[in-house]
Chains A and B, each alone.
Chain A
Amino acid sequence: MKIMHCPVNGPRPLQEFQYGGELRAAPDAQTASDEAWAEYVFCRSGEPGVKREWWRHVPSGVWFIAERNNVTDEIHKTYLYGAEQPS
C-alpha cells in the first residue's frame, strides 16, 4: 500500500485519501467559446507523465495538490493549493 505525504497530516497510507481529479485551469466562462467550454468540462487528458492532482485526506478533510507520475506512480511532491508554484 502506497504512502502519501499529506502536507498537514504527514505520511499516511493511501487508504486514508480520496482522489479529486486532475488540477486544471477553467477557461473564462464569459469569453470561452462553446467548443472550448465543452472541451473543458467533458475531456480529460490521458497523457502519461507527471500530473498535478487534487487529493484529500479524508479523516481531517484536508485538500491538497500532489504531483504524481502516472506511469511510475511516484509521488514527487505534495503541497497545499496555492502554497507552492509547480515545478
Chain B
Amino acid sequence: MSNRLPPQPGEWIDRTRALTFRLEGREHSAFAGDTLSSALAAAGVRTLGRSFKYHRPRGVYSAAGHDCNAMFESDAATNVRGDTTLVADGMDLRPVNAAGSLAHDRLNVVEKFSRFLPVGFYYKAFHTPRRLFPLYERQMRRVAGLGHIKPNARLPASPKDYDFCDLLVVGAGAAGLSAAIAAAECGVDVLVVDQRARPGGSLCWQSGQVPAARQQLAALLARTEELPNLCIRAGVEAAGWYADHWIALVDSARLTKLRARATLVAAGAIEQPAVFGGNDLPGVMLASAAQRLARLYAVRPGQRAVVLAANLDAYRAALDLIDAGVQVAALVDLRFGGEAGELLARLHEHKVEILAGHAVYEAVAGRDGSGVAAAVVCPLGADGAPVVERARRIDCDLLAMSVGWAPAGAILYQAGAKFAYDDQVEQFTPRTLPEGVFAAGRVRGVYDLEARLADGRAAGLAAASHLGKRQGDVPRQSPPSSVPHSHGYPIFAHAGKKNFVDLDEDLHLADFKNAHQEGYDNIELLKRYSTVGMGPSQGKLANMNAVRILARLNGRSIDETGTTTSRPFFNPVSLGCLAGRRFHPLRRTPQHAWHAEHGARFVHAGAWLRPEFYPRQGKSREQCVLDEALAVRQSLGMIDVGTLGKLIVSGSQAGEFLERVYTGKFAEMKPGKLRYALACDETGVIIEDGLVARLDERTYFLSTTTTGSASFYAELQRWAIIWRLDAAITNVTGQWTGLNFAGPRSREILAPHTEVDLSSEAFPFPAVRRGTVAGAPALLMRVGFVGELGYEIHVPASHGMHVWRTLWQAGESAGIRAFGVEAQRLLRLEKGHLIVSQDTDALTTPIEAGLEWALANKPFFIGQRSLRIAAQHPPSRKLVGFELPREHAGPWPEECCLVVDNGRITGRVSSIARRSTVGRPIGLAFVAPAQAQPGATIRIRTESGRMVDAEIVEPPFYDPRNLRQS
C-alpha cells in the first residue's frame, strides 16, 4: 500500500529520480531526497525497528532522528539511522536489533519476563556466583548492543578539515537565518549550519497553517544569497562545543574543526512525547513527525488520526493532517480550557471532535500486534489524573502527540550556559550565557514567528557588537512566550501497560518509580542507575519527562531537580569520522635510501627510523650483529649517526653557559679539543650525555643522544633565557648529518678524501677538526664510543648521501661493513660506556652510575647542589659490569631481569650481550654497593625463574688502556 501523496508545496523529494533499496532482502522504491524512514513509511512499512530490550515493534516517532527506532546496518556501515540517512540507490540493509525479522522477532519473548527484569536487574543478578560470570557475559554480549562491528571493513579515510569564521550560527530556521543576516549585514563573517538536508527549520514543515511562513523563508534565503560573507551549510551538525569556540561540525563525509570567534545557537526545540500505556506502538508519533512526513516527504502518515494536544501547535498539526488527506477523528486536549479562535473553528468545520480536559490513557495495538488500532481516551479529574471509569475507545491508526517542547540547547549547555525553568512557557530557557555565546528563537522559549525573527535579529546584532563590527545599542531580545507551549506533566500512568519514557533503553514509568524507591532520587544518579538518556538518541525525547517524573516523585520543583550534564556529541559520530586521516611524522636521515637499498632492518628511536642491523642471507640476527661488530674491530665499519642531537652554542659566554649546563669544565678547553659531557637535572639525575667540541673562541659544537635531543635543546633554550648570558643556541640536528667511520683501517681509507692531516700528532684523540670530506664541508671528530680508531664526520644534511656513498666505495677494498644500532650497542658495551635512559633511569645519579670522575670541582652546575646532598649518604645501588662464563649456554638473563640477593631484590640488568667480540657474555647491571666488588658473584633471576650466577668485573671489557684508539 502506498502512502505517497501527490506533490506537496516545498517537498524535499525529487520525483524525477526514482531509487530502489533493499531491507531484509525486500526491495523498496524511493525518490531522491527520501530518508530511509520516509521511504519505508511511504511504502506502508510500519515496523522500522525492534526495541533494545523487549524487542517491541517500533515505527516512525520523530522522523527527525530524535529517537533511534529506525536503525539499520549494511555491509559497509553500522548503525545507519533511518530518520537522517538519505536513501542511496542500491542500499542493502538489515535491522540492527531483530532476532529473525522485523515482523517476527524471536526475542520479543523477553517482554513476557519483564516483570522479572526490573531496573538495575543486571547489576543485581549477574555478579554471583562468580564462576558463572563468563557465561553470563557471553550471553549478554550476544543480546546487548546494537548492530555488529565488522573489524575487517575497509572504509575510505575521512579527512578532517579546519575551518574558520567570525560567527557560527547553529540552526537555519527563522531565528537563525534572521540572526545570521543581521550579523552579516554588519560585516561579520557568518557560517550557518543546519543538521537537516535543507535550511528553513520549522518553516519547512510547520508552515501549513502559517501563510506567512513560506514567504518569510523565501525572503530570508534570498537575502542570504546577497550576502557574500554569509555561508549556509545544510546537512551539517554542530556535534560539540569546546573551549574558545572550537566546534566539531559533522557531515556525512567528514569532521570539520571549526574555530569561530562567537557562537549563536538557534537550534530550536525538540518535540516531547506524552507518557501513557503503549505509547511506543508504531503509529503513535509526535505531531511534528506526522507533519514532517507529510510536508517534506509527501507521505500520508495514517488514515485516521487522534491528535493529543497541549498547545496551539497541535491544532495546526491537526489541520495539516486534514490537508494531507488524513481523517482526524478527535483532538484530545490535556487542557481544560482547550484552544479558542480561528484554528478551533476550522477544526469544527472539518467535524473534528474536540475533547478538552481529556488524556489518552492507552494506545491499543491491532490484532496483528504491529501498530496502533485505537486510542483509549479518558476525561481528566480535578487532580489531573485520568478518570479511567469514563474511558472510551476511538479507532485510529495514527496517534499524533503535541504536548510540549524541550530546548535543543546542547551546544549552549556545553558552552557553559545556565538554564532555568520558565514556569510561563513551561520550558528550560537559558538565563546566563558565557561571553561570545548567543541564543535566539525556540531554544529561548520564543515561539511566535514574528517574535522569533525579531529575536534572531537582536541576537545577531548583539553578536556583531561583541565582535566589534557594530557600534551603539543592541535591541532587546524577545521575551519567551507568555503562554505555555508544553504541558507541565504529560504523564498518565496505565496500571497494566508499559508507559514508556525512554524508547532507546526501553525504560518505562515503573522503572523510575522503582529506582526512586531504591534511593536514586538525584537526577544524575537516576540517569546512571536507570540508564535514562544513555541510548543512541541521548535522551532527546526522554530527559525532560525523566526530570518531570523525578521532580514529582521528590515533591520538588523542576529547577530544584535540575538536568543532567550535556556532553558532546549531540548525536553519535562514527569512529571513522573521529579518527580521520592520521599523520605519522617520521624522521629519516639523508642516508635512509641507501640503508633501505642495502636491506637494513629499521628500528624506531624516538621520532627517527634507524638501521638496527643489515640482515644477511642465512644468518641469524645475532650473527649479523656480531659480524658487523667484528668488522669494526678488525678492519672498517661505518654507521649512520645522523640521528644524534647536534647543537651549536656561540657567544662570548658560551663556555660559561656550558659549564653551568654540564658537570664538566669547558670554558678553558682549547679550540680543536673535545670532551665527554654529562648533564643532570636539578635533582642530580642524569638526563643527557654527549660530546662538547670547541670549534673556536666563541663557538662550541655539542652532540646529544638521539632520543633526548629535542627536550634537551628546549631546556637549554630556557636556561639561556633565565641566565641572560651572551650564548646563543642553534639546533642543527636536522641541518647536519653524520657518520662514524671506525676501525683500524679508517685512517688510511679516509685520508685520500680529506685535506685534514689525520696523523696522530696533528689530529690526536680526542679532538675536532674542520675541513672537507669528499668535497663537502665537514666537522671531523676523533671519538671513542665504539673503542677503535675512528672519525665521526658531520656534514650538512644535503651532502650526507654523497659523502656516505663516497666513503662506502672507498672502504670496499678494506671489506667495509655498514653497522647498525645493535652492533654499536655491543661495541660500546664492550668499552663499558653507558647509554643514558637505557643504563640509567629517572633516578640515576652520576654517583650510582660510576661517573663521579665527570663531576668537576667548580662553583655551579645544574644538579650540583642535590648531588652534594646525595654524596653525604651511601648510594643504594651501583652500576657495574658483569660477565658470564664463556661456555654459558642459557638460560639467558634479559635486560631488566632482577638481581637477587638472599631473596631480596638488589638491582637489575640494564644491558646484556650474549655474544661479543671479547668472546664471552657481558653486561651492565645495577647491584647493591656491597655486591659491587670486582670478583663478587651476583645472582640474576631469568624470565623462566631460573637463577644464573654472574661475576662482577671492572669495565671496560675490551682494550682497557685505550690502545686501539690512538
- Asked if the two chains touch in their complex, CB atoms less than 8 Å apart, one says yes
Query: Which A positions have Cβ atoms within 8 angstroms of B?
Result: 1-3, 13, 18, 20, 26, 29, 32, 34, 37-38, 40-42, 54, 56, 61, 63, 73, 81-82
Given A20-B718, A81-B721, A81-B722, A2–B866 Cβ distance below 8 Å?
no
Tell yes or no: B559 within 8 A of A by CB: no
B718 touches A2 (CB 8 A): no
Tell yes or no: B244 within 8 A of A by CB: yes
8 contacts between A and B (CB under 8 A): A1-B243, A2-B244, A2-B246, A13-B259, A34-B869, A38-B869, A61-B713, A63-B721
Closest residue of chain B to A23 (Cβ to Cβ) is B722
- Write out, one digit per residue, whether chain B residues 835-870 have a CB within 8 A of any chain A CB (1) or not (0): 000000000000000000000000010001110010
Given A29-B865, A41-B682, A61–B714 Cβ distance below 8 Å?
yes
Complex-state Cα separation, A51 to B246, whole angstroms: 24
Whole-angstrom distance from the CB of A44 to the nearest CB of chain B? 12
B683 touches A42 (CB 8 A): yes
B718 touches A1 (CB 8 A): no
Question: Taking each of A2, A29, A40, A63, which has the highest tally of chain B beta carbons within 10 Å of its own beta carbon?
Answer: A29
Whole-angstrom distance from the CB of A86 to the nearest CB of chain B? 15
Q: Determine the chain B residues whose CB is within 8 A of the CB of A41 once the complex forms.
A: 682-683, 866
Given A1-B246, A38-B869, A81-B722, A29–B714 Cβ distance below 8 Å?
no
Closest residue of chain B to A37 (Cβ to Cβ) is B865
Q: Determine the chain A residues whose CB is within 8 A of the CB of B683 once the complex forms.
A: 41-42
The 4 closest A-B pairs by CB, nearest first: A29-B865, A3-B244, A2-B243, A1-B246
Complex-state Cα separation, A3 to B259, whole angstroms: 10
Closest residue of chain B to A32 (Cβ to Cβ) is B865
Tell yes or no: B74 within 8 A of A by CB: no
Closest residue of chain A to B162 (Cβ to Cβ) is A13
Closest residue of chain A to B718 (Cβ to Cβ) is A63
Query: Which B positions have Cβ atoms within 8 angstroms of A?
Result: 242-244, 246, 257, 259, 682-683, 713-714, 717-718, 721-722, 724, 731, 860, 864-866, 869
Closest residue of chain A to B683 (Cβ to Cβ) is A41
Complex-state Cα separation, A13 to B682, whole angstroms: 31
B860 touches A29 (CB 8 A): yes
Q: Determine the chain A residues whose CB is within 8 A of the CB of B257 once the complex forms.
A: 1
Q: Total A-B residue pairs with C-beta atoms closer than 8 Å?
A: 48
Partner of A1, one of B242, B682, B713: B242
Q: Determine the chain A residues whose CB is within 8 A of the CB of B722 once the complex forms.
A: 81
Closest residue of chain A to B243 (Cβ to Cβ) is A2
Whole-angstrom distance from the CB of B51 to the nearest CB of chain A? 38
Whole-angstrom distance from the CB of A2 to the nearest CB of chain B? 4
Whole-angstrom distance from the CB of A28 to the nearest CB of chain B? 10
Q: Determine the chain A residues whose CB is within 8 A of the CB of B246 once the complex forms.
A: 1-2, 13
Closest residue of chain B to A56 (Cβ to Cβ) is B714
Complex-state Cα separation, A81 to B719, whole angstroms: 11
Whole-angstrom distance from the CB of B869 to the nearest CB of chain A? 5
A54 touches B718 (CB 8 A): yes
Question: Taking each of B244, B713, B860, B865, which has the highest tally of chain A beta carbons within 10 Å of its own beta carbon?
Answer: B865
Q: Determine the chain A residues whose CB is within 8 A of the CB of B713 once the complex forms.
A: 61
Complex-state Cα separation, A29 to B684, whole angstroms: 13
Whole-angstrom distance from the CB of B675 to the nearest CB of chain A? 24
Q: Determine the chain A residues whose CB is within 8 A of the CB of B865 once the complex forms.
A: 29, 32, 37
B869 touches A37 (CB 8 A): yes
14 extra interchain contacts, Cβ-Cβ under 8 A, other than A3-B243, A56-B718?
A1-B242, A1-B243, A2-B244, A13-B246, A18-B714, A26-B682, A29-B864, A37-B865, A38-B869, A41-B683, A42-B683, A56-B717, A63-B714, A82-B724
Complex-state Cα separation, A56 to B713, whole angstroms: 12
A63 touches B243 (CB 8 A): no
Q: Determine the chain A residues whose CB is within 8 A of the CB of B259 once the complex forms.
A: 3, 13
Closest residue of chain A to B685 (Cβ to Cβ) is A41
A1 touches B721 (CB 8 A): no
Closest residue of chain A to B859 (Cβ to Cβ) is A30
